[in-house]
Structure 1
């Protein structure tokens, strides 16, 4: 049996993010330490809290770069990483919108708002520095361009084989168990989610994927469609997906597992469906890790398999 022990596939393409020409445009609303719609000064500085400004429009392209409604490239100005849009600027890539609508930069949905002293407005930054003061942690939510979660039957929406197209399968799957927090379970062929067990998946992304758009997808076919795999499933199907701050290893345990760098939201899974978890600029040349954990009463264990129908 020729099997790649695969969980969620990394699909490489531009299917989940439309280009500016396709009018994949959105507005942003801040929440957290500062709240309100994101407006824009005439010079392209993006502001929160200045009620004299109208909501600004942004458009995201397949490489994760953003332009504003005037066509200006949105950048992170050095050294303070201020998010603003300038005439003639080449937009910074690496942005994405998660399945829950959160704007992310390099997989993180954490931004910072820092007071300007002008009309109650705050600038937006991706990192803190000594040059900034009076800053609050925020998140930014888009009102459009959100990757959809498919609810079509697997035989219509899931490929029957992964031999065509660009995809990556996990090179490490390891469970971590809160009931046995110091036990390392090494790498496994099965993914598992229970009330105490979650699973971490490492993906190695080729350097050749630089400049492309990646999607994290979970394929969950009907058991009758499986040739060489199987699964057990019960409960409400709620699973939380998260990107981790660094890859796992064969010695990873519950207590030493990498921290979450970006929560990708909770999806209710059920057999016969495929799910786009998140779409983002491909982290070319890197190993990235994602975690699946119970967000309700889910009990799921599946044999990671490449053969039809892939799971």
Structure 2
């Protein structure tokens, strides 16, 4: 599993698409924003006097100015990945690097790369921020902006991709983890049009429920594939792969149908952000899995505000082959009071977490 994760990240980063940025900085500055890091290091992003961007408890949080796909610091210095180490820095008379993006939930990306690296500096708890792990004692992080976010879709009638399932309308199409089905899809926004001949949506092979209010309680097998999410309850989704998956492209997808769709059966209350994360491995013994012995997070992914009609794609990666297993965690973010309950395979329309493959 560790080797698979290494290959996943290596291929994911190596396959990033090239984007041609504008050569001249636009002067229509839209807004200011601040950055925080999550993952290997959680903290506010500031700077040294020379403009080097760092995160650490002893640094004042910097205010950056957004220019659509580039940014400067509060002194007007252009921010870029300095060669050859690709450390983030803001310099005088420097054209900023173009190709940055801010997602509607605040995730910062650069030319479609959403995973960055913090590397230790030896100065207290301060870390440098890199595009690639070229420093010392590095770990993966994500970057979040507190402003300058584009609006998320708010159309309540916007439905997720329609998948045909193995069930029949009005019948119970639930199943156990040992008999996975493969609903077929004719289209999905997970991949650009024309890039996939056949798209398949696979549900998880196992769902494990854990509760931080009862960290030593194991809830045992979950044959009904029930998902319960609350400020305390969270869910681990395990996916297994076969030899036929090798060479395909995978995308993690989460869908909640529009409230008007009478075929959708789920309960959603409360509000706030829910986070997704790639785990280091599935639980070693799902029947004995608890919040206290849950696998560690390998990489935090996108956060989203759950609401009817939402469709998010937190991660795309090359599908592994036979005998590989991947697990993801879905949990309320701090301060959220979102409560969601549904059965993964009961509805005729897709609800919950899936892997889309092509």
Partner of 1:32: 55
Question: For the structure 1 residues 127 and 213, does the alpha-carbon distance in structure 2 shift closer, same or farther, using more than 3 Å as the test?
Answer: farther
Partner of 1:157: 160
> How do 1:130-149 residues align onto structure 2 when only pairs under 5 Å count?
132=136, 139=141, 141=143
**Displacement after TM superposition at 1:309 (Å):** 1.4
Q: Could you tell me whether the CA contact under 8 Å between 2:246 and 2:320 is conserved in 1?
A: yes
Q: Which range moved further: 217-226 or 151-160?
A: 151-160
**Displacement after TM superposition at 1:277 (Å):** 3.9
Question: For the structure 1 residues 291 and 106, does the alpha-carbon distance in structure 2 shift closer, same or farther, using more than 3 Å as the test?
Answer: farther
1:48 to 80, 84, 88: 88
Question: For the structure 1 residues 269 and 147, does the alpha-carbon distance in structure 2 shift closer, same or farther, using more than 3 Å as the test?
Answer: same
Give the Cα separation in 2 of the matches to 1:291 and 1:200: 5
Q: Could you tell me whether the CA contact under 8 Å between 1:149 and 1:277 is conserved in 2?
A: no
> For residues 65-118 of structure 1, what are the alpha-carbon distances to aligned partners after superposition, in whole Å with 9 as ceiling and x for unaligned?
xxxxxxxxxxxxxxxxxxxxxxxxxxxxxxxx9964345999965432669xxx
**Displacement after TM superposition at 1:223 (Å):** 5.3
Partner of 2:202: 168
Give yes or no for the alignment of 1:219 onto 2:252: no
Q: Could you tell me whether the CA contact under 8 Å between 2:210 and 2:289 is conserved in 1?
A: yes
Give yes or no for the alignment of 1:112 onto 2:119: yes
Q: Could you tell me whether the CA contact under 8 Å between 1:107 and 1:280 is conserved in 2?
A: no
> For residues 122-173 of structure 1, what are the alpha-carbon distances to aligned partners after superposition, in whole Å with 9 as ceiling and x for unaligned?
8654376xxx4xx676846499xx9996544466433143422222210110
Give the Cα separation in 2 of the matches to 1:288 and 1:24: 35
Give the Cα separation in 2 of the matches to 1:226 and 1:305: 16
User: Structure 2 stretches of 5 or more lacking a match?
Assistant: 1-14, 23-34, 36-44, 46-52, 63-72, 74-78, 123-127, 165-182, 186-198, 352-358
Partner of 1:88: none
Give the Cα separation in 2 of the matches to 1:156 and 1:112: 42
Give the Cα separation in 1 of the matches to 2:140 and 2:238: 28
What is the aligned-residue RMSD (CA, Å)?
4.4
**Displacement after TM superposition at 1:253 (Å):** 0.3
Count of residue correspondences: 241
Give yes or no for the alignment of 1:238 onto 2:273: yes
More relative contact order, 1 or 2 (CA 8 Å, 6+ apart):
1
Give the Cα separation in 2 of the matches to 1:262 and 1:24: 28
Partner of 2:237: 201
**Displacement after TM superposition at 1:244 (Å):** 1.6
TM-score, length-scaled by structure 2: 0.53
Partner of 2:320: 284
Q: Could you tell me whether the CA contact under 8 Å between 2:106 and 2:144 is conserved in 1?
A: no
Partner of 2:213: 179
SS of alignment partner, residue 173 of structure 1: strand
User: Structure 1 stretches of 5 or more lacking a match?
Assistant: 1-16, 61-96, 116-120
Give the Cα separation in 2 of the matches to 1:123 and 1:239: 26
**Displacement after TM superposition at 1:290 (Å):** 1.4
**Displacement after TM superposition at 1:206 (Å):** 4.5
Q: Could you tell me whether the CA contact under 8 Å between 1:215 and 1:277 is conserved in 2?
A: yes
Structure 1 runs (4+) greater than 6 angstroms displaced: 104-107, 135-138
Question: For the structure 1 residues 168 and 154, does the alpha-carbon distance in structure 2 shift closer, same or farther, using more than 3 Å as the test?
Answer: farther
